[in-house]
Amino acid sequence: MPTRFRKVRKRRGSRTMGWGQIGQHRKTGAKGGRGMAGGHKHKWTKLLKEDYFGKQGFHNPTSREERAININGLQTLVEKMEEKEGVVTINLDELGYDRLVGKGVIHRPVVVAVAKWSKQAEEKIKAVGGRIIRPEELATQKAA
């Protein structure tokens, strides 16, 4: 359509542009309500098309929360393991734990391989005759 026939050129002096004197096409009647009105009714398909729901944004792949286990959790792991006499060795690094914290009580001597631990956890494990080592040290012990 040529520009000269368009209503926007023809009605330059008119406020209402040919839609009547009481404001048709002026407020929210033409849009189906103000804001999110009708979001669960007549505007539902529009919301689905525009990805209104769900998570948007950036997730940093390098940041990772530290996974910790306490002494009580360690005690249940020891109980689940087959009964062995003497000291039981548990590699928490292989089980997906990054840190050992000191809540709870342990009853058996245990050698625990973990990357980080608290002072309280170390004291409790040493009190029953166990020890905490780093996972690298456990690998060198197995190799020797």
Domain boundaries, the chain: 1-58, 68-143
Edge-to-edge strands of the sheet including 131-133? 88-91, 110-113, 131-133
Instruction: State pLDDT tens for residues 5-37.
Output: 776 667 778 777 778 888 777 778 878 898 889
Domain 68-143 coded CATH 2.40.30.10: no
**Among the listed ranges 15-24, 58-67, 111-120, which one has the minimum average pLDDT value?**
15-24
How many helical (H) and strand (E) elements, i.e. helices and strands, does the chain have?
5, 6
Give the integer Cα–Cα distance in Å for 102 and 40.
50
Measured CA to CA in angstroms, residue 77 lies from 32, 63, 129 at distances of 60, 28, 17
CB distance 106 to 78 below 8 Å = yes
This prediction has a pTM of 0.54
CB distance 67 to 95 below 8 Å = no
**Among the listed ranges 13-27, 38-52, 65-79, 98-112, which one has the minimum average pLDDT value?**
13-27
CB distance 104 to 68 below 8 Å = no
